Structure 1
Amino acid sequence: MADAMEQLYQQVILDHARARQGEGELANYGGESFQLNPTCGDQVTLRVQLDDAGETIEALGWTGQGCSISQASLSVMYELVIGQSVTRAAELGEHFRELMAARGQELDPARLEALEDASAFTGVARYPARIKCALLGWMALRDALAQAQVRA
């Protein structure tokens, strides 16, 4: 059973790495963040636009290059946070950071369920060198959201 789940998780990551959601430059934005993983060279520029109240993620776009893990993580993150409140996006980011810190151990079922496809990165957390790859986009999102909120 564990092998079947690991294969499913690997397939989710591969699918997102191939068909990247949210990839593309966003012309109108309130916050932008460039992040680089110096260990492997993965990089991302993420832009976010909030609604007029500064409470909801109205648009998000990213460009970058790197391994399938970093690219898939950005794609999954996009699907999770687009249209969500800034508070909910921050909560999901915290859940994902907890998942990475768990080093392959599963989180509370409610948190795993909230992460949807991002729960596929459970196995990635077993490899410390890959954790930064998976977190790259989430760090960029946190930074871009902070900038967008200041400007809102």
Structure 2
Amino acid sequence: MNELDQLYQAIILDHAKARHGHGILENPDGESFQVNPTCGDQVTVQVNMDGDTISELVWDGKGCSISQASISVMSQLVEGKTVTEANELLDLFSELMNSRGKGIDDSKLDRLEDGSAFVGVAQFPARIKCALLGWMAMRDATIKASSMKGEGQ
């Protein structure tokens, strides 16, 4: 294993153990529960919104270290961002996952910060759904939050 692979593996393991954003909100603006039926990984992502900005994002779930680490990275990346910015990051992460391990442009990788460590995961199609699980829940939770806020006006 080369040094870069070791670094990426360490980042994923660190996020799986020290989970950023792990928790539960009392009255979230939006919530999404997602399950990967292939392996049983599951997550509930909750968001609070300040206008179009994700002011708070927390999650609770169980699953493999890849899914848990990816959710941790995602929560760190999107909290404080607008929904548009968060969806742009989702698109970049999806592009990375669909690269089948070849990676993406360095400027895009830089925007993903610790998310760039998942380039190796993209080599394993069965693990891609694990890595994307929390991201899909984030998108769904923000959609639900936006629609709920729209109904209350």
TM-score normalised by length of structure 2: 0.95
Query: Shift in Å at residue 107 of structure 1?
Result: 0.5
Residue 145 of structure 2 aligns to a residue in which SS?
Answer: helix
Residue 103 (structure 1) aligns with: 100
Query: Shift in Å at residue 129 of structure 1?
Result: 0.7
Pairing 1:66–2:46 present: no
- CA distance in 2 between counterparts of 1:131 and 1:88 reads 22
- The 5-angstrom pairing of residues 1-40 of structure 1 reads 3-40=2-39
Pairing partner for 1:117 from 100, 114, 118:
114
- CA distance in 1 between counterparts of 2:2 and 2:82 reads 36
Q: What do residues 14-64 of structure 1 show as CA deviations (whole Å, max 9, x unaligned)?
A: 00000000011111211111100011100001111100x2x1011111110
Residue 81 (structure 1) aligns with: 78
Q: What do residues 66-122 of structure 1 show as CA deviations (whole Å, max 9, x unaligned)?
A: 000000000000110111111110000000000000010110111100000000000
Residue 128 (structure 1) aligns with: 125
Letter in 2 for 1:15: D
Residue 136 of structure 1 aligns to a residue in which SS?
Answer: helix
Letter in 1 for 2:25: L
Dislocated runs of 4+, deviation >6 Å: none
- CA distance in 2 between counterparts of 1:93 and 1:67 reads 20
- CA distance in 1 between counterparts of 2:8 and 2:15 reads 11
User: How high is the sequence identity, in percent, across the aligned residues?
Assistant: 60
RMSD (Å), alpha carbons: 0.9
Residue 116 of structure 2 aligns to a residue in which SS?
Answer: helix
TM-score normalised by length of structure 1: 0.96
- CA distance in 1 between counterparts of 2:86 and 2:63 reads 23
Query: Shift in Å at residue 145 of structure 1?
Result: 0.7
> When the two structures are aligned, how many residues end up with a matched partner?
149
